Amino acid sequence: MSVPHPPKVAGIDPSLPSPSHTADPAAPAPLPPPNAVVLDRLAGWVSDLTTLHELTERLTRTRSLDSALHELLRAGAALVGARRGLVTLEPADGLGPVTTVGLGLGRADLGYIETIPRGTASAAHLLDGLPEAHAPRPEVVHPDLAREAGLDPRHREVATRLGYAASYAVPLDPLGEPTDEGGAPVGRLAAPAGRLGAAVWLYDEPTEPFERQRHLLGLYCRHAAEHVARLVELTRARDAAATLHQELLPARLPRVPGVRLAVRHRTGPDGGGDWYDALSLPEGALGLAIGSVSGSGPGAVAAMGRLRASLRAYAVMEGEDPVAVLSDLEMLLRLTEPARTATALFAYCEPLEAPPGSAGGLRIVLAGAGHCPPLIVGEHRTEFVETSLSAPLGMLSCWEAPSMEIEPAAGETLLLYSDGLLHRTGDEMDRAFARLHAAAAGAPRVVRQDPDALVDHVLRTVLPDGLAAIDRTDDVILLAARFD
């Protein structure tokens, strides 16, 4: 009997043995998922460093002490999540400057905060209540002023009045100056020593910054303190140079019959060598002078003082001859200041004898040495007085230039000015001269009658940004003499 065969299905012979197959290769084991906590922490560090870098870059770009303090407050408020704040600058060496700057606080608010007794809170002057710089946590935190026990009643009253419920204060302590092997400081000179001041940020609701915020603010404030210390040093140097420059200029203008004088001047931040003078001379005459010494800084200021004092002496001895005055000044400059040059203009104003029954006139003899030509302003004319194309003092082996003579009419004004007035316009020199001429010519009649009003009008018209622009280093002098 034959064995039955299983039926074939779709061409497959079921009697054949199934082929043997090798096992599939094992898939590689999946990598463990990354630690989300570590990634979050790294991302947070990168974000913090980026933020800190951007804020410190913005602070470093500030060029004045006031702008640096304002930037410090804005950056600190962003780091700790506050809306208002104030910073008090009061260097520990007592040499100043002393100032308080607010963020979101007006002058009245700052004055109200100053009424908090010192030593009772971080808000008042901020300094007495802060720990020393070497303390573990040199900060003062008031997370809830309304509930804080032992708080001075005046502090709580001021907080309620101004609407803040918490505060966080930190000191401004620059790092110590580098010293040599003998312990002598190197690097900065006359830098402020010790604490510079402190900053406090105010919260509208009870709260306090997180540990991460405190850490970032601490890093930022250490950098800010160094930057502020450099600006304090620079401010002191500029103030000293400006004070010296101010002391070397006339303390007051002389009183001369028939002449009214007015002057406006501003010294550049580096202490320039521009100067002016007005002095009474024998026989009722008046001497007017203006000039500039090359260079800037204390050296230029000292040279300017010596040059101005010498010109006064020459003007008393031979003021009626302006060319002789400038010639003597040029010889002195070549002998005593061979590395410097200077510009100068001297005008000798003397009254003329009047015939009986008529009013006397005035004669002006002037000479210039490379200085800008003066401007005569009157009701019927506004024109430059050409003082010849002479070279500045100290540039030629033998200086000489002719003098000019004018007779101003009653009511006319002579304007002497420094080249810094033209440079501050930002225009080319020909356009700057045109702007000055247009400003003087466009002065209303009532303004021309008062030399003080006239110089103010010219400055407002020629310099729309005013004399106090911190980004300009040029000295500006504008001297007006009105002849009645």
Residue 301: which of 347, 242, 259 has the closest Cα? 242
Residue 301: which of 245, 341, 343 has the closest Cα? 245
Q: What is the pLDDT of residues 50-70, one digit of tens each?
A: 888 999 999 999 988 999 999
Question: 140-149, 294-303, 416-425: lowest mean pLDDT where?
Answer: 294-303
Q: Are 140 and 122 in contact (CB under 8 A)?
A: yes
Say which DSSP state 202 is in.
Answer: E
Question: Same domain, yes or no, for 331 and 411?
Answer: yes
Helix (H) or strand (E) holding 477: strand 476-483
Strands 342-351 and 285-296: antiparallel
Peptide bond into 322 cis (omega under 30): no
Return the structure tokens found at 133. Answer: 């710089």
Q: Is residue 23 part of a domain?
A: no
Q: Is residue 357 part of a domain?
A: yes
Q: Is residue 187 part of a domain?
A: no
Q: What is the pLDDT of residues 319-360, one digit of tens each?
A: 899 999 999 999 888 888 888 899 999 999 998 766 555 555
Residue 203: which of 227, 168, 228, 237 has the closest Cα? 168
Question: Same domain, yes or no, for 468 and 380?
Answer: yes
Give the per-residue pLDDT at 137. Answer: 60
Question: Same domain, yes or no, for 270 and 318?
Answer: yes
Q: Are 207 and 166 in contact (CB under 8 A)?
A: yes
pLDDT at 23 over 90: no
Helix (H) or strand (E) holding 45: helix 36-60
pLDDT at 20 over 60: no
Return the structure tokens found at 483. Answer: 């002849």
Tell the burial category of 162 from Cβ atoms under 10 Å away from its Cβ (0-12, 13-18, 19+).
middle
Choice between 279 and 386, residue whose per-residue pLDDT is larger:
279
Question: 106-110, 130-134, 182-186, 436-440: lowest mean pLDDT where?
Answer: 182-186
pLDDT at 469 over 60: no
Buried b (16+ CB within 10 A) or exposed e, 448-477: bbbbebbbbbbbeebbeeebeeeebbbbbb
Question: Same domain, yes or no, for 230 and 307?
Answer: no
Q: Are 291 and 345 in contact (CB under 8 A)?
A: yes
CA distance 123 to 201: 9
Q: What is the pLDDT of residues 378-431, one digit of tens each?
A: 988 999 988 766 788 888 777 777 888 998 988 999 999 998 899 888 888 889
Average pLDDT on 114-131 reads 58
Average pLDDT on 463-481 reads 75
SS3 454: helix
**From the centroid of its chain, how far is CA 296?**
17
For the domain that residue 80 is a member of, what is the CATH number?
3.30.450.40
Q: What is the DSSP secondary-structure string of 321-370? A: -HHHHHHHHHHHHHHH-TT--EEEEEEEEEEPPPPTTS---EEEEEEEEB
Question: Same domain, yes or no, for 292 and 405?
Answer: yes
Q: Is residue 94 part of a domain?
A: yes
Q: What is the pLDDT of residues 74-89, one digit of tens each?
A: 999 999 999 999 999 9
Q: What is the pLDDT of residues 227-272, one digit of tens each?
A: 999 999 988 887 877 777 777 788 788 888 889 999 998 877 666 7
Which pTM does this prediction carry? 0.65
Q: Could you give the number of structural domains in the chain? A: 2
* Phi/psi of residue 101, nearest 5 degrees: -125, 140
The boundaries of the domain holding residue 127 are 48-176+192-241
Question: Same domain, yes or no, for 229 and 321?
Answer: no
Question: Same domain, yes or no, for 264 and 336?
Answer: yes
Tell the burial category of 197 from Cβ atoms under 10 Å away from its Cβ (0-12, 13-18, 19+).
buried
pLDDT at 13 over 60: no
Q: Is residue 28 part of a domain?
A: no
Give the per-residue pLDDT at 140. Answer: 85
Give the per-residue pLDDT at 132. Answer: 58
SS3 380: coil
Question: Same domain, yes or no, for 56 and 149?
Answer: yes
Give the per-residue pLDDT at 358. Answer: 52
Question: Same domain, yes or no, for 96 and 121?
Answer: yes
For the domain that residue 461 is a member of, what is the CATH number?
3.60.40.10
* Phi/psi of residue 21, nearest 5 degrees: -120, 145
Q: Is residue 196 part of a domain?
A: yes
Question: Same domain, yes or no, for 172 and 256?
Answer: no
Q: What is the mean pLDDT of the chain?
A: 82
Question: Same domain, yes or no, for 289 and 418?
Answer: yes
Tokens 């250490």 sit at which residue? 222
Return the structure tokens found at 97. Answer: 């400057």
